């Protein structure tokens, strides 16, 4: 059963550090993105020309053509949004990136929650209607208005429960662990007990009513499923 009526947004991640590249691939995949990976500037430009991504996350310190060179080449052909991701925190580097046409700039080390929030904000600015409505069965969430309905009836949710519902709707029928939900909704720096996930799952279940759409998957977490 399809949960997202529009195509997944595509992010091109250009990063020469393999561990960071894999971390971002996993994280953006969980957040509902189609992910393209490049380890260098030349590869990135070839992928960009072939795949036409919706947004680019671009490291500055690349072998060969650096991030500034990649951004300059992209801007000669496209205004696709780009976020610069780099260990360089000098003001001059930030000014250079923004002058070349970067939409945002984030310095390493970074928190993934902040990175994905910035990328999503960029996409909302340039493509406000893309991916706005998520649905599963008779449940719908307008991610721009932050309004949920079930069977056409408005469902009253707290802001945090709405965040949790959005994560589940972006990954229909997939079991998401407590750790994934905690990081996606509360952020990796949350220091509380992971039982807070159970508390909000119960709250969300009560609000959504019957039949129950949120399944507990033993040993795996929670999944948005109409049937077992």
Alpha carbons 208 and 165: distance in angstroms, whole number = 10
Local confidence band at 127 (pLDDT 50, 70, 90 cut-offs): low
The DSSP H or E segment spanning 64 is: none
What pLDDT digit, counting tens, does each position of 129-182 carry?
Answer: 455 788 888 999 988 788 999 999 999 999 889 989 988 988 888 888 888 888
Using a cut of 0.85, tell me whether the model's pTM lies above it: no
Please, are residues 121 and 144 in contact by the beta-carbon 8 Å criterion?
A: no
Answer whether residue 192 shows pLDDT above 90. Answer: no
């Amino acid at each position: 059963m399809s949960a997202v009526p529009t195509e997944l947004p595509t992010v091109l991640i250009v990063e020469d550090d393999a561990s960071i590249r894999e971390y971002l691939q996993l994280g953006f995949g969980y957040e509902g993105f189609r992910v393209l990976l490049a380890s260098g500037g030349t590869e990135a430009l070839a992928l960009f020309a072939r795949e036409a991504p919706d947004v680019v996350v671009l490291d500055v310190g690349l072998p060969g053509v650096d991030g500034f060179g990649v951004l300059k080449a992209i801007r000669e052909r496209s205004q696709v949004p780009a976020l610069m991701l780099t260990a360089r925190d000098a003001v001059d580097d930030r000014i250079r990136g923004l002058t070349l046409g970067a939409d945002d700039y984030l310095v390493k080390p970074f928190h993934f929650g902040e990175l994905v929030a910035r990328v999503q904000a960029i996409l909302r600015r340039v493509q406000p209607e893309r991916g706005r409505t998520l649905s599963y069965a008779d449940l719908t969430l307008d991610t721009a208005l932050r309004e949920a309905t079930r069977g056409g009836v408005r469902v009253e949710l707290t802001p945090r429960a709405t965040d949790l519902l959005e994560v589940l709707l972006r990954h229909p029928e997939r079991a998401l662990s407590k750790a994934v939900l905690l990081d996606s909704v509360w952020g990796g720096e949350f220091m509380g007990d992971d039982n807070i996930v159970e508390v909000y799952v119960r709250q969300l279940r009560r609000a959504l009513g019957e039949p129950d759409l949120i399944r507990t998957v033993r040993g795996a977490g929670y999944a948005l499923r109409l049937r077992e």
